Amino acid sequence: MDKLRTTVEEQRRRMEAHLHAPLTRIAQRLPGVWPNREALDRVLLAGIRDLPECTFLYALNTDGIQISDNISHDGLLTEHFGRDRSQRPYMKEVVPADGFLLSEAFISLLGRRPCMTALQLIRDPGGRVLGFMGADFDLRNLPHSGMLYEESTEWRQIKGDPSIRGTVFLQSRVESALDRDIDGVLSVLEELFTERGVFQCVLHFSSSRATVWTLDDPYRYRILTQDALSDPDTCLAFPKRTYPENGLIPADAIGSILETLKGLRFADETVYLRSTSINVFNGMISLTFSCDGSHYMTWKEFLDRSLDFWLGHTP
């Protein structure tokens, strides 16, 4: 989550830098006409032309009550005059010393869309606070750096459904069709990974199926049932492909990973592996156990752990 949060904060800084100056220029023209509704509307109508990304502009008194109409690029929305915005998320945040705040993202009441609101504190020439200017932005319209955050490779454990965890010791593994032919299934999967262009697989042991993604058609998945997984002829339906050089999991580690997954499936009749995923490009393995707990880790960390570790017998 740290990398995700870091990327979000960097994007917020870019947005603040982009919006601060034009909003300040508009706000500087408001004290002279405060709190006249028609005059405020005129200033805001002129100002929104400099904010092509803005959905609405409006003025609020210190109690969060709207004292102007909603100003949009299409004109006035008079029904918002007098609206109480005091309980909206952006009104509960602390405005920084410079008087400018770009709120955390929230879901809008009208459009049910992810939005942000910028608040600019309005002061009279003597420094007395008159109220706020608000500017609403749909996230779709705000500029973006174009950068996608990088997923963390740190070991993560995520708890699942409490009702499942609470009854885990009342259940035991029921042998599935995949369990009965697991060696054959894993041989087919190793071939698909190392020779046939599969780069991601989600394997469901209990329901005897796999979902796979391929280099040739990465945007669509394919579902392989037990009949397909247990039949080596299935490999012929996937064109032969060179193992990707930029994959983080080496080809010669795939067999060891699959064998270790097999061990986790059969190591204990109460706490056992229900499903797993392997992604060659980000080098990650996920494990979901019968207690509904999930783990995400690198392939190296996965292979470094013994079965005793997963069963809680060693630290």
Mean pLDDT of 79-99: 87
CATH of the domain at 69: 3.30.450.20
- Same domain assignment for residues 162 and 282: yes
Task: Classify residue 170 by its DSSP letter.
Answer: G
Phi-psi region at 127: left, alpha or beta (left = phi > 0; alpha = psi -120 to 50): left
147 in a domain, yes or no? no
Quote the pLDDT of residue 312: 62
- Same domain assignment for residues 101 and 14: yes
- Same domain assignment for residues 74 and 136: yes
Quote the pLDDT of residue 259: 95
Domain span at 116: 2-141
226 in a domain, yes or no? yes
- Same domain assignment for residues 136 and 170: no
203 in a domain, yes or no? yes
Quote the pLDDT of residue 6: 79
- Same domain assignment for residues 211 and 251: yes
DSSP string covering 81-105, please?
TT-B-TTSGGGGSPPPTTSEEEPPP
Q: Flag whether pLDDT at 33 surpasses 90.
A: yes
- Same domain assignment for residues 240 and 107: no
Mean pLDDT of 63-78: 94
- Same domain assignment for residues 167 and 301: yes
On average, the pLDDT of the chain sits at 87
- Same domain assignment for residues 177 and 61: no
- Same domain assignment for residues 91 and 187: no
Contacting residues for 203 by C-beta, under 8 A, at least 6 apart: 189, 210, 261, 275, 276, 277, 278
- Same domain assignment for residues 258 and 284: yes
- Same domain assignment for residues 123 and 205: no
Question: Whole-angstrom Cα distance, residue 303 to residue 315?
Answer: 15
Residue 167 pLDDT class (50, 70, 90 cuts)? low
Nearest alpha-carbon partner for 48 in 29, 69, 68, 26: 26
Q: Show which of 87, 113, 141 is a domain's final residue.
A: 141
Quote the pLDDT of residue 140: 84
Q: How many domains does the chain have?
A: 2
- Same domain assignment for residues 183 and 233: yes
Q: Show which of 109, 141, 173 is a domain's final residue.
A: 141
Residue 67: CB atoms within 10 Å: 19
